[in-house]
Structure 1
Amino acid sequence: MEGEPLVRRSAGIVIAGLLPWAWFVLRDRLGVVTDVLAIVLPMLTLVVALVAGSLGLLGRRRPAALAFAVSTLLVGVVATVTPWIPHGTGTVDESRAVRIAAANIGEGELEGADTFIGVNADVLVVSELGSPLTHRLSQAYQYVESYWNGPAIAVFSHWPLTVLESPGPDLPGFMLRVHAPSGDFDLIAVHVPRPWYTTGGSTYRQKNPGQPYETTVAGHHRLIEQIAERAAKDSGPVVVAGDLNTTDRGRDYRILTRPLHDAMLDSWGRPSQIGRWAALLVRIDHVLIKQGWCSDHNHWYTIPRSDHHGLVTTIGPCAA
C-alpha cells in the first residue's frame, strides 16, 4: 500500500523525536551511569545533536535524524535550566533571620579574605582553605571550627557553636549546633569530594599539596545519601551548606532535596563552577534548608582567583 511507507516514516520521526526525552524517565534508574551523564549533559547533548544533525543532512533518513538532533538539544536545555527556576520557599521572619554564606576559596586563600568579610554573614562556610585564611577570618568572627585536611573546611560564626560531629570517613565536614539569638539550628557544613572515575587524595593541601580531592562516583553518592539521612532524622531546623560537588540536574541533588529545600532558588539559579569547568554549566555549591524555614535576598558573588562563585542568602523561620 502506498500509504504504508509514509506511516512508517512518520512513526520513525515521532519515535526519534521522543527518544531523547527518555532521559527524564531513566536518569534515576541507572545509578552511576546517569550520575556521570548528568555532569556532562550540556556538552554531551550538544555533541550528540551536532552529530545526529550532520548525519541527517548527509544521510537518507534525514527527517528522523534531524528530529532526534533537535529533540536532544531541547532535552539538554530543559534538563540544565529547569533546576534553576525559582520556587521561593516564602518570606523569612526578619526578627529571626540568619545571613549565611558559603564558598570554595580555590587558590585565592588570603586574597579572598576581604570578600568574605564584606559579605557580612552571620555564619560563613569556607572550603579548600588552610591556616592563613582561617586565622585571618578568626579576627572577624568570634567562633570558629576548622579542619585543614580532608575536606579542608571551616565554619565562622558570630554565635556560639557546638560540634555534634567532626569530619570523618562518613562526613566530609562538620555537623554543628548554631546557638543563634533567635533559636538553635543545626548546620551540616560540608565539602564533598569531587565524583571521579577513581579515588584521589584523601587529604587536601597540608599533607599532599596539589593532589585531587575526589572519590568514586559511587562513593560520592554514598556520602550524599548519608548527609540527606542526617538532615531527615534531625527533628529541629537543619541547614546544609558548602561545596557539595553535586550538580543540581543529578540524582544526588534530588536525594538532598527530598528532606530539604534549595535556599538559593528564591531567585533564578546559575552555575557556581567557573574556570575550566564552566562549559559544564554545573551548580555544585548549595545552601539547603529544612521545611519550616524560608529564604530571601540571595545572590552569588565573585571570589578572587577561585573557580567557584560564592553564595549568600538570608534564611530563617518563615514569617507567619
Structure 2
Amino acid sequence: MGKMPRPFLPALFSSRLVNGMFGLVALGWALGAWVGERTLPTLLLAYLPPLLWLLPAGLALLWSVGRRRGRGLALLTLGLAAWGAGLLHWRPQADGELRVLTYNVARGSQGTAAALLSTLQASDADLILLQETNLLDPAKGLALRSGLSGYALTQGREVWTLSRWPVLRQTQHAVPGSTRTFAETWVKGPDGRTLRVVNAHLGTVLITSALRGDTAKVRRTAQARREQVALLCRIAAHEPGPVLLGGDLNTPPRGRLYRRLTGCFGPDAHDRAGQGPGWTFPGLLLRIDHLLVRDLRPTRARVLSMAGSDHRPLLVEYRWGR
C-alpha cells in the first residue's frame, strides 16, 4: 500500500481534531445532564461552569478556519456549547398576576442594609424568599423588617418568607445533613386560592474538596443533597394544589437531582419564561437559584442586578393555571 500524500495528512488530522472536539462537548454535556450525580466524575461534569465547554468548541473553530476544513462541524460544536451554556435561550415574556423574588443575601456580608432593602422594594414582589438571613449584623435584620413592614414574615433557620398575602399557616422541616430548615408557608391569594410556598437552601456540592482529593467528603455532601431533594419531593406530594419551590438550590439546570425537583414541583420558571443564561451566581457564571411551580404559569423570569450579595435576585411573574 502506498504512502498517503502529504497534504492529506494535515487535512485528516484537522478533521479528526474537529470530530474529537464535537464528541468531547456532546459527550461531556450528555454525561453531566443525564448521568449527573450518579458518579463522582459525571457529578463534576454536571456542576462545571457551562461556559468552559466553549473553550474546546472555540479551539475547534479556530483550527478549522486555519485549515479550511471541518468548519461546519466546528460551528455546530460551538453552537452546541453556546446552547448548553444558555446563551441562546430565549422565551417570549408577558406581564403576570403574581410576582415572586428569591434571593440569597449572603448573611448581609457584601452590602449595606439600604442596598438590600432597595433591591427588595424595587422588585415590587408579592412573595419574597430570602436565604442566609442569619445576618452578621443584627441591625441589618431590623432595618429589613422595618423597611418591609407591609409583608407578613415567617422565619426558619436562615430563611425568611415574606408575603403581601395573608399567611394561613407555616411549618418547618429539618434538613438532612444540615442545621437548616425548609420553610413551608400557606398563603391566601386575592381570589381566595391557597398557594403553598417552600423556601429552601440546599447544601453545596464541594467540588473544591474533589480537587483536593477528598472524595469522601464530596460523597457525603452528595448523599446529604439526595436526602434533601427526597424530603422536598415528599413535601410536594403531601397535598394537591398549587405549590412553589424557591431558593438557593445549589443545583445547575441539569443532572438527576434537578430533573427530580422539576418532576416533583413543576417546570423551572427560567426555562419557560427567561431569556439568556440567567446566571444567579455570577462569580462562577452559574444558574443555581431557581423557582419551580405547579399549577401556575411563569410569564416572565429575569435576574436582577447584584446589590449586597454574591448571588443575584431572581424575579418571576406568574399567572394562575398551567
TM surpasses 0.5: yes
**Structure-2 residue corresponding to 1:35:** 43
Rounded Cα–Cα distance in structure 1 between residues aligned with 2:59 and 2:17: 17
**Structure-2 residue corresponding to 1:180:** 189
Matched, 1:302 2:309: no
Percent of matched pairs sharing the same residue: 22
**Structure-2 residue corresponding to 1:169:** 176
Q: What is the CA-CA distance between 1:229 and the residue it aligns to?
A: 4.3
1:133–1:178 distance in 2 versus 1, CA, 3 Å: farther
Q: What is the CA-CA distance between 1:82 and the residue it aligns to?
A: 7.0
CA offsets, 1:254-307, max 9 Å, x none?
222223112234131421112xx2xx32111111111x3112343322242312
Pick from 271, 277, 289 the counterpart of residue 279 of structure 2: 271
1:55–1:84 distance in 2 versus 1, CA, 3 Å: closer
Q: What is the CA-CA distance between 1:26 and the residue it aligns to?
A: 2.5
Q: Which consecutive segments of 4 or more residues in structure 1 shift more than 6 A?
A: 2-6, 50-57, 66-71
**Structure-2 residue corresponding to 1:205:** none
Q: What is the CA-CA distance between 1:138 and the residue it aligns to?
A: 2.9
**Structure-1 residue corresponding to 2:132:** 128
Aligned residue for 1:306, secondary structure, equals coil
> Contact 1:225 / 1:252 at 8 angstroms: preserved in 2?
no
Q: What is the CA-CA distance between 1:232 and the residue it aligns to?
A: 4.4
**Structure-2 residue corresponding to 1:248:** 253
1:303–1:78 distance in 2 versus 1, CA, 3 Å: closer
Equivalenced residues, count: 288
Q: What is the CA-CA distance between 1:163 and the residue it aligns to?
A: 1.5
Residue pairs, 1:1-320, within 5 angstroms = 9=12, 12=16, 16=20, 18-20=22-24, 21-27=26-32, 28-29=34-35, 31=38, 32-42=40-50, 44-48=52-56, 73-81=78-86, 84-86=89-91, 97-106=97-106, 107=109, 108=111, 110-111=113-114, 112-129=116-133, 130=135, 131-139=138-146, 140-148=149-157, 152-158=158-164, 159-169=166-176, 172-182=181-191, 183-197=193-207, 216-259=221-264, 260-264=266-270, 265-269=272-276, 270-274=278-282, 277=283, 280-290=284-294, 292-318=295-321
Rounded Cα–Cα distance in structure 2 between residues aligned with 1:4 and 1:45: 34
Structure 2 spans left out of the alignment, 5+ residues: 210-219
> Contact 1:166 / 1:173 at 8 angstroms: preserved in 2?
yes
Rounded Cα–Cα distance in structure 1 between residues aligned with 2:279 and 2:64: 32
Structure 1 spans left out of the alignment, 5+ residues: 200-214
Aligned residue for 1:116, secondary structure, equals helix
Q: Which is further off, 69-78 or 132-141?
A: 69-78
Q: What is the CA-CA distance between 1:56 and the residue it aligns to?
A: 9.7
Q: What is the CA-CA distance between 1:177 and the residue it aligns to?
A: 1.3
Q: Which amino acid aligns with 1:189?
A: N
Q: What is the CA-CA distance between 1:102 and the residue it aligns to?
A: 1.2
1:285–1:83 distance in 2 versus 1, CA, 3 Å: farther
Q: What is the CA-CA distance between 1:78 and the residue it aligns to?
A: 2.3
Q: Which amino acid aligns with 1:188?
A: V
Q: Structure 2 length as normaliser, TM-score?
A: 0.72
> Contact 2:156 / 2:172 at 8 angstroms: preserved in 1?
no
Q: Which amino acid aligns with 1:248?
A: P
Q: Which amino acid aligns with 1:126?
A: L
Q: What is the CA-CA distance between 1:49 and the residue it aligns to?
A: 5.3
